[in-house]
């Protein structure tokens, strides 16, 4: 079974500064997807960024970028020019790229999350 | 696109009672998921539908839990004989099947408190 570990329960950053959130995962599969989700205090989870394991290039979405190290099974999220609206719980998640015989296996496995505080 | 809608937002019930939650996915999405999130934890997968077929169930989904998606549109999650350990946020998500990975869109969740 796959596991996702977020070793930082809480992080804080000054507005306009850069912060990196850590995530490691354990899998025996060679093809999979990795995600970072954001959960603001309103509780609705929002996709921040995703990475396909077969792609060597790190994904970027505006101020958000990842450092994907496949051999190390590491998938960190970097937030540049942090804004007050970035304050939220951030979850790292894993999804297999393989389908089982039932045509499913689309579930996400989440880490425990990192609570990010942005200080003005 | 009105997003994924869940009802109710909050539910307080006494131990032993039955509760039912509803999820309305984004209209064109054929995949629907239920997750449970307890305090300080990430969401845990419960079950998954493709159209009306329930294709995967977690071991977390005990016999007291049942989910349906009768016409491939909205879904219900019922918990019978609730226990205090069932207190959690129940999240619904939907996605569109297509080549490659389709991101999940989550609802605001239903917070269940069992007293």
DSSP A61-112: ETTEEEEEETTTTEEEEEE-S--GGG-EEEEEEEEES---TTS-----EE--
Give the count of Cβ contacts less than 8 A between chain A and B: 62
Q: Using CA coordinates, name the residue in chain A closest to B55.
A: A104
- On whether any CB of chain B is under 8 Å from the CB of A50, the answer is yes
Element housing A33 (H / E): strand A32-39
Judge contact between B55 and A101, C-beta under 8 A. no
Measured between beta carbons, the chain B residues lying within 8 angstroms of A102 are 55-56
pLDDT 10s digit of each residue in chain B, 115 long? 579 999 999 999 999 999 999 999 999 899 999 999 998 899 999 999 999 999 888 888 889 999 999 988 999 999 999 999 999 999 999 988 766 677 889 999 999 999 9
Q: What percent of chain A has pLDDT over 90?
A: 78
CB contact under 8 A, B107 and A104: no
Residue B97's pLDDT is: 75
Tell me the pLDDT band of A33, cut-offs 50, 70 and 90. Answer: very high
Residue B28's pLDDT is: 87
**How high does pLDDT run on average in chain B?**
92
Residue A56's pLDDT is: 86
CB contact under 8 A, B56 and A43: no
Read off the pLDDT of residues A104-118 as tens digits, 9 standing for 90 and up: 557 889 999 999 999
Q: Rounded to an integer, what distance in angstroms lies between the CA atom of residue B108 and that of residue A44?
A: 5
Tell me the pLDDT band of A72, cut-offs 50, 70 and 90. Answer: very high
Which residues neighbour A79 within 8 Å (Cβ) at sequence distance 6 or greater? Answer: A13, A18, A19, A20, A21, A63, A64, A86, A116
Q: Helix (H, G, I), strand (E, B), or coil: what is residue B80?
A: coil
Interface probe for B, chosen from A107, A111, A113 (most Cβ of B below 10 Å), is A107
Residue A9's pLDDT is: 96
Residue A105's pLDDT is: 58
Average pLDDT value for residue range A25-47: 90
């Amino acid at each position: 079974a796959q596991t996702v570990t977020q070793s930082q329960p809480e992080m804080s950053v000054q507005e306009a500064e850069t912060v990196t959130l850590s995530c490691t995962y354990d899998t025996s599969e060679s093809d999979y997807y990795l995600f970072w989700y954001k959960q603001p205090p309103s509780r609705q989870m929002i996709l921040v960024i995703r990475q396909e394991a077969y792609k060597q290039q790190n994904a970027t979405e505006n101020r958000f970028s990842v450092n994907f190290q496949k051999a190390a099974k590491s998938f960190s999220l970097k937030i540049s020019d942090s804004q007050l609206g970035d304050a939220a719980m951030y979850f790292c998640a894993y999804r297999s790229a393989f389908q089982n015989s039932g045509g499913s296996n689309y579930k996400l496995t989440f880490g425990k999350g990192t609570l990010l505080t942005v200080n003005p | 696109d009105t997003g994924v809608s869940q009802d109710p937002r909050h539910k307080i019930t006494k131990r032993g009672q039955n509760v039912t939650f509803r999820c309305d996915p984004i209209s064109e999405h054929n995949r629907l998921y239920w997750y449970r999130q307890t305090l300080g934890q990430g969401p845990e997968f419960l079950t998954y539908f493709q159209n009306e077929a329930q294709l995967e169930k977690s071991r977390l989904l005990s016999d007291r839990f049942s989910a349906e998606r009768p016409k491939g549109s909205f879904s219900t999650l019922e918990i019978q004989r609730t226990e205090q350990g069932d207190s959690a946020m129940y999240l619904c998500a939907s996605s569109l099947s297509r080549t490659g990975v389709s991101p999940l869109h989550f609802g605001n969740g239903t917070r269940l408190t069992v007293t």
